[in-house]
Amino acid sequence: MKAAVVITKGSIPQYTDFPDPETPKENEVQISVKAASIKNLDRAIAGGNHYSVSNEVHQPKIIGTDGAGHLENGEKVYFFSKKGTTAEKINVEKGFVIQVPEALDFATAAALPNAVMGSAMGLKFKAGMKPGDTVLINGATGVTGRIAVQAAKLYGAKKIIATGRNEESLQSLLELGADEIISLKLPEEDFKKKIKDIHDESPIDIILDYVWGHSVEMILSALKGNGTFSHKTRLVSVGGMSGDTIQLSSQILRGTDIQISGSGLGSWTKEETRLLFSEIIPEMFQAAVDGKIKIDTETAEIKDVEAVWNTEIPAGKRLVLII
């Protein structure tokens, strides 16, 4: 069969022949793949730079971690697999396969779930979001951040504040459900004042962060307590586009009711993962069919994987390879 394969560690994936999958095991199904999304996660895994593969000995492997296609009986499905997904056929454990509404196209079905994992899991399980919460999404102009804005709205947020650097994409978040936007290009003191003013007026319950780095340092500084009672705020780290470390004053932790956690592969419980596949993603698929949530995609044929692998994709769009 044909597949997109990383032959040597760190190399660009090639469109090439790869052995067909074996007969599925009892707990597996075989899927004819029609679309596979390509994310920062997939690029990091392909390059051997992601923590989930850092100790693996590299062998030629199919790229991708999820996609959409159909079963042998024709049923339309989404699937997740660490064994690679950008191939004509793949065997997947039954527990990581979700039925897709017929009205949803393959590209959307392939692209949406990862963004849901990076937003809904943090909101629901790590932050414990409740209807009426005020939510700040830091770095909301990317694909997952845009879904986070829409997910927070679906989950009943009272107020949604979004930050970002891309001005055009930031403005478009107002149409997706954001109530207020703040540019990360603002001078530091102006940025911190905006955060503080918002927090004083409508205390921030949840911060969902995709950036980390200096922007988080500024936000925490703006929320720093003064020794009196402070509002409880849950900060959930989902990404680190601006760096993997921050400087954190212990005074902020002692003087502010702030709770910091992370959301990503390895941080979710088995029950949370089960609910992701049995409830959360199906709910988001239906929301997409109903027009309540949308994701923009940039599609390319799998045979062109080498040409598009390092191509800059427009802000807020997800690359999907069509098979």
pLDDT: which is higher, 46 or 3: 3
Helix, strand, coil proportions of the chain in percent (round to 5)? 35, 25, 40
At 54, the pLDDT band (50, 70, 90 cuts) reads low
Mean pLDDT, the chain, rounded, equals: 93
| Interval 128-187: pLDDT, tens | 999 999 999 999 999 999 999 999 999 999 999 999 999 999 999 999 999 999 999 999
At 77, the pLDDT band (50, 70, 90 cuts) reads very high
On the question of pLDDT at 73 being above 90, the answer is yes
* CATH architecture of the domain with residue range 2-116+268-322: Alpha-Beta Complex (3.90)
Query: Which pLDDT score, from 0 to 100, does residue 103 have?
Result: 97
246 class by beta-carbon count within 10 Å (0-12 exposed, 13-18 middle, 19+ buried): middle
Half-sphere exposure of 147 (CA within 13 A, CB side): 29
Fold of the domain built from segment(s) 119-262: Rossmann fold (3.40.50)
Query: Which pLDDT score, from 0 to 100, does residue 22 have?
Result: 93
In the chain, where are the structural domains located?
2-116+268-322, 119-262
On the question of pLDDT at 80 being above 80, the answer is yes
Q: For residues 273 and 113, is the Cβ–Cβ distance under 8 A?
A: no
Q: Which of 166-170, 204-208, 226-230, 300-304 has the lowest mean pLDDT?
A: 226-230
Give the span between the Cα atoms of 13 and 145, in whole angstroms. Answer: 27
pTM of the model: 0.90
Q: What are phi and psi of 46, to 5 degrees?
A: -60, -35
On the question of pLDDT at 50 being above 80, the answer is no
Give the span between the Cα atoms of 130 and 205, in whole angstroms. Answer: 10
Q: Which of 8-17, 63-72, 179-188 has the lowest mean pLDDT?
A: 8-17
Residue 70's SS3 state is strand
| Interval 248-303: pLDDT, tens | 999 999 999 999 999 988 899 999 999 999 999 999 999 999 999 999 999 999 99
Query: Which pLDDT score, from 0 to 100, does residue 197 have?
Result: 97
On the question of pLDDT at 55 being above 70, the answer is no
Give the span between the Cα atoms of 161 and 174, in whole angstroms. Answer: 10
Q: How many CB atoms are located within 10 Å of the residue 23 CB?
A: 8
At 40, the pLDDT band (50, 70, 90 cuts) reads confident
